[in-house]
Amino acid sequence: SDVCSSDLAVGSLVFLQNKHLLHAWDTVHNSETQFRFVADRVGEMVAVLDASGHFLYASASHARHFSSASARSGANWLLLVHPDDLNRARSFLENIGNQGPNARLSLRLRLANGTVQNTECHANPVHLEEGKPGLIVLVCRFVRQPQQLRESA
């Protein structure tokens, strides 16, 4: 009976280690995909948000346009969005898991100097467990002709 319970314990331990190994492998693969997504957009505003839209990381390019407090870790990205675009932006973040990689949204952001800038955002969800996005990699760039941009899935 002691042998059976120790075999069961070892089997359970091996199962858990393999499960964590597979999760780590998936994380590395997702990280590589996310790195390529970001690396292709050097010079744009890159942010990593948690699933509720709070900054975990903001590239240095944010400092040129927004106050340091508005893009600091823990700050809400939605506070940068123009009030007229807020509902669309909120819906975009809430549904990012259903939109797939490189989802797009055009909206207006409010800059630190009080001006409003037309912006195109591309988002990639990072799925951490059970297909639910745990992080969002968001790349934004200012545009001049917002009428040509559309929200896409």
Instruction: Determine the pLDDT at residue 108.
Output: 96
Q: Which pairing describes strands 103-110 and 45-50: parallel, antiparallel, or unpaired?
A: unpaired
Instruction: Determine the pLDDT at residue 96.
Output: 81
Residue 130 has pLDDT above 90, yes or no: no
Instruction: Determine the pLDDT at residue 54.
Output: 94
Q: Give the mean model confidence (pLDDT) for residues 94-120.
A: 88
Q: Can you tell me which residue has the tokens 């259903």?
A: 98
Instruction: Determine the pLDDT at residue 115.
Output: 92
pLDDT, one tens digit per residue, over 22-61 is: 555 565 556 656 655 554 555 678 888 988 899 988 888 8
Residue 102 has pLDDT above 60, yes or no: yes
**In the 3-class helix/strand/coil scheme, how is 49-115 assigned residue by residue?**
EECCCEEEEECHHHHHCCCCCCCCCCCEHHHHECHHHHHHHHHHHHCHHHHCCCEEEEEEEECCCCC
Amino acid at 35: F
* Mean per-residue pLDDT of the chain: 76
CA angle 102, 38, 19 (to 5 degrees): 80
Q: Give the mean model confidence (pLDDT) for residues 62-74.
A: 89
* pTM of the predicted model over 0.85: no
Rounded to an integer, what distance in angstroms lies between the CA atom of residue 105 and that of residue 12? 45
8 A C-beta contact, residue 79 and residue 72: no
Q: Can you tell me which residue has the tokens 């591309």?
A: 122
pLDDT, one tens digit per residue, over 137-150 is: 888 999 875 443 34
Q: Residue 144: which region, alpha, beta or left (left: phi > 0; alpha: psi -120 to 50)?
A: alpha
